[in-house]
Amino acid sequence: MSRGHPDHASRQNVAETDRCPWCDQPISHQKFEEIRRRIQTEERRHAAEAAAEAKTQVEDARKEAAANLEKTLKTAKRRADLAREEGKRAATAEMKSKIDEVQKAKTTAEKALLAEKEHQSDILNARLKEQRDALEKDKLKAVNTEKAKAFTERQKVDGKLQLLQRQLQKKTADDLGEGAEVDLFEELKAVFPTDEIKRVKRGETGADIVHTIVEKKRACGIIVYDSKNRTSWRNDYVTKLRRDQLAAKADHAVLACHAFPAGLRQMHVQDGVILANPARVMALATILRAQVVQLANIRLSNEARDQKVTRLYEYITSEHCAQRLDRIDSLTDTMLDLEVKEKKTHDATWKQRGELIRAVQQAHGELVSEIDLIVAGPKMQLHEAT
């Protein structure tokens, strides 16, 4: 068969031989397979190594990427923190500026409110002062009214009371006269505080009271007074006081008495002495004092002075003067009654005014509270935001 198929053997030999993949020399198929396996094994090893290396590189790349990412995140976080800090500082500065503006506005508002409070307080104090002054005036008027009423009542019962006192206490006429003299002396000192008024001691000669009129530190004249609290009239009262007037070189002599010569009352001039009811003595003293001061300022002869004094006495004892004095008394009583009614009206007005003032104060307090709330509100909100 070998001979019959010579090419078969050669093909078999060629098939059983291969070339080395490395050196290209003919080798056996077995050897070729061995080499091929070795090459495959080596290739697989290299592939495994390459895959392992690639995996390592991929892992390294992943780690590096993760590290870079972490680094980038840290950088971004740091930048974000810096941005937040910067933003916070800017916001804080802006907030502080706004707070300062609000505080400044609040201070301005508080100053304006304080000024308004002081203005309102001044107005209220002025009104209260007016009310106090009016109240004091009304109280004084009320006191004077009561005094006038008491004086009138005292005059009505004076004669009877004095008689009863004399009978009950068994006082002498001199004792009763002494009390009236003291009352007149104290009243003159109260009405004319700048004049020199002195009492003559008992047992000494002279009128009961010597009234030296002083105007601008200059003595202008003298008025002498006697006070007789008697129930019957005696002419020697006038004789004695006239003698005392001449001795003291007095311009006028006034006898305060309840008892008058028959048919006379209230006021009368006898032998140059003025007889007057005690209720009229102060009004008479005021008139006489003004006349003495006026004459002292005018240079007149003694005759002219006597003429004016005579005319003055004629006037004060005239029916016309009596009517004037009665009218003054009547008007005074009417005025006192009117003041009493006015006080009652004022009481109602003051009550209503007090209620209005309290209402104004309440409204003012509410206004202040609302302004404080407006001014303090933004500041409180800013603190809450901080």
Spatial separation of the C-alpha atoms in residues 174 and 166, rounded to whole Å: 11
CB 34 within 8 A of CB 20: no
What mean pLDDT is predicted for residues 225-252?
Answer: 86
What mean pLDDT is predicted for residues 38-67?
Answer: 82
**Residue 135 CB burial class (10 angstroms; 0-12, 13-18, ≥19):** middle
Domain end, chosen from 255, 287, 317, is at: 317
Kindly report, residue by residue over 309-361, the tens digit of the pLDDT. 888 888 888 888 878 877 777 777 788 788 778 878 878 888 888 788 888 77
What mean pLDDT is predicted for residues 16-40?
Answer: 74
User: Is residue 237 assigned to a domain?
Assistant: yes
The fraction of the chain above a pLDDT of 70, given in percent, is 80
Spatial separation of the C-alpha atoms in residues 200 and 248, rounded to whole Å: 12
In the prediction, which pLDDT does 4 show?
42
CB 181 within 8 A of CB 208: yes
Q: Name the region of 309 (left: φ>0; alpha: ψ -120 to 50; beta: rest).
A: alpha
Find the distance separating the first CA and the last CA of the chain, reported in whole Å: 112
User: Is residue 28 assigned to a domain?
Assistant: yes
Q: Which residue has the tokens 């005292």?
A: 154
SS3 135: helix
- Judged against a pLDDT cut of 70, whether residue 16 lies above it is answered with no
Spatial separation of the C-alpha atoms in residues 231 and 167, rounded to whole Å: 12
User: Is residue 38 assigned to a domain?
Assistant: yes
Q: What is the DSSP letter of 218?
A: E
Do 313 and 178 sit in the same domain of this protein?
yes
Spatial separation of the C-alpha atoms in residues 208 and 198, rounded to whole Å: 9
In the prediction, which pLDDT does 159 show?
59
Q: Higher model confidence: residue 252 or residue 206?
A: 252
At 266, list the tokens. 């209230």
Closest among 312, 283, 292, 287 to 219, alpha carbons compared: 292
Domain of residue 75: give its range: 10-81
Spatial separation of the C-alpha atoms in residues 335 and 340, rounded to whole Å: 9
User: Is residue 370 assigned to a domain?
Assistant: no
- Cα distances from 370 to residues 99, 106, 118, 269, in angstroms, run 20, 13, 18, 78
Closest among 227, 219, 220 to 202, alpha carbons compared: 227
Kindly report, residue by residue over 142-194, the tens digit of the pLDDT. 766 666 666 566 555 565 665 555 555 444 544 444 555 567 888 888 889 88
Kindly report, residue by residue over 119-135, the tens digit of the pLDDT. 877 887 787 777 777 77
User: Is residue 222 assigned to a domain?
Assistant: yes
Beta strands 17-19; 252-257: pairing state: unpaired
In the prediction, which pLDDT does 161 show?
61
Q: Higher model confidence: residue 264 or residue 214?
A: 214
User: Is residue 229 assigned to a domain?
Assistant: yes
In the prediction, which pLDDT does 348 show?
82
Spatial separation of the C-alpha atoms in residues 164 and 174, rounded to whole Å: 16
Close Cβ partners of 162 (under 8 Å, ≥ 6 residues apart): 176, 229, 231, 258
Domain end, chosen from 36, 56, 81, is at: 81
- Judged against a pLDDT cut of 70, whether residue 236 lies above it is answered with yes
- Cα distances from 148 to residues 143, 279, 348, in angstroms, run 8, 11, 25
At residue 21 the predicted structure's pLDDT band, cuts being 50, 70 and 90, is low
The dihedrals phi and psi of 361, each to the nearest 5 degrees, come to -60, -40
In the prediction, which pLDDT does 8 show?
44
SS3 233: coil
Q: Higher model confidence: residue 332 or residue 210?
A: 210
- Judged against a pLDDT cut of 80, whether residue 240 lies above it is answered with yes
Spatial separation of the C-alpha atoms in residues 332 and 338, rounded to whole Å: 10
- Judged against a pLDDT cut of 60, whether residue 378 lies above it is answered with no
At residue 223 the predicted structure's pLDDT band, cuts being 50, 70 and 90, is very high
User: Is residue 95 assigned to a domain?
Assistant: no
At residue 212 the predicted structure's pLDDT band, cuts being 50, 70 and 90, is very high
Kindly report, residue by residue over 74-132, the tens digit of the pLDDT. 888 888 888 888 888 887 888 788 788 877 877 887 788 778 778 877 887 787 777 77
Select the highest-mean-pLDDT range: 43-52, 249-258, 377-386: 249-258
Q: Higher model confidence: residue 201 or residue 284?
A: 284
In the prediction, which pLDDT does 299 show?
67
The dihedrals phi and psi of 307, each to the nearest 5 degrees, come to -65, -45
CB 275 within 8 A of CB 269: yes
- Judged against a pLDDT cut of 80, whether residue 210 lies above it is answered with yes
At 340, list the tokens. 């009493």
Which of 231-235, 248-252, 382-386 is least confident?
A: 382-386
Number of domains in the chain: 2
259 alpha carbon, distance to own chain's centre: 59
Query: Residue 203 is part of a domain; what is its CATH number?
Result: 3.40.1350
User: Is residue 75 assigned to a domain?
Assistant: yes
- Judged against a pLDDT cut of 60, whether residue 385 lies above it is answered with no
At 172, list the tokens. 């002498």
Spatial separation of the C-alpha atoms in residues 88 and 83, rounded to whole Å: 8
At 369, list the tokens. 């509270």
Cα torsion at 147, 152, 156, 161 (round to 10°)? Answer: 20
Domain end, chosen from 317, 351, 367, is at: 317
In the prediction, which pLDDT does 14 show?
42
Q: Which residue has the tokens 């004091």?
A: 136
- Judged against a pLDDT cut of 60, whether residue 270 lies above it is answered with yes
- Strand order across the 218-228 sheet: 196-199, 209-215, 218-228, 252-257, 273-276, 267-270
What mean pLDDT is predicted for residues 62-76?
Answer: 85
